[in-house]
Amino acid sequence: MNIPARTAKIFEGIATRPQMFRLFGRHDQRPDRWKTDAAPMYSGEWFEVDEALYDYMLNILPPLWMRGPIFALREFLTGSITSVFFALRIDGKTRYFHGYCDLSAEVPSRRRGRRSSSARRSLSAP
């Protein structure tokens, strides 16, 4: 039996640049930081950014990979977890998101994050 991984929106609204960088380090203060694998803490977390932040992160370093409006950062957060930025068209408007992707997962978490973001927005539409 396949148990779906959790997805969690960790910020309400569109994150500004300072908020985005705080969210990147949100698990850094845990007491056992160097003793345990942090991958499960980050896997499935996502939040919305604006187009300027999406472009900024795309232009910092060459991406690890890019396919259409989805790209992964070259620097890994922990183990096989890296940041993924993606654009979705929702209700005729392009929106931009950041999520964490476990590149070792059998079903890439970037697809789950994308589906989760899209489903959540569809449900909250009036």
What's the one-letter identity of residue 35?
Answer: K
Name the average pLDDT for the chain. Answer: 81
Query: CA distances (Å), 101 to each of 40, 110, 118, in order?
Result: 11, 5, 16
Place of tokens 């845990």: 30
What's the number of domains the chain is made of?
1
Residue 54 is assigned to a structural domain of this protein: yes
pLDDT at 45 over 60: yes
Confidence band, pLDDT 50/70/90 cuts, at residue 37: confident
Residue 50 is assigned to a structural domain of this protein: yes
What pLDDT, on a 0 to 100 scale, did the predictor assign at position 125? 44
pLDDT of 84-124, one tens digit each? 999 999 999 999 999 988 888 765 455 555 555 555 554 44
Residue 2 is assigned to a structural domain of this protein: no
Residue 59 is assigned to a structural domain of this protein: yes
Residue 103 is assigned to a structural domain of this protein: yes
Residue 33 is assigned to a structural domain of this protein: no
Residue 56 is assigned to a structural domain of this protein: yes
The Cα 97–Cα 86 span in angstroms is 5
Residue 80 is assigned to a structural domain of this protein: yes
Q: Domain containing 85: what range? A: 8-28+38-124
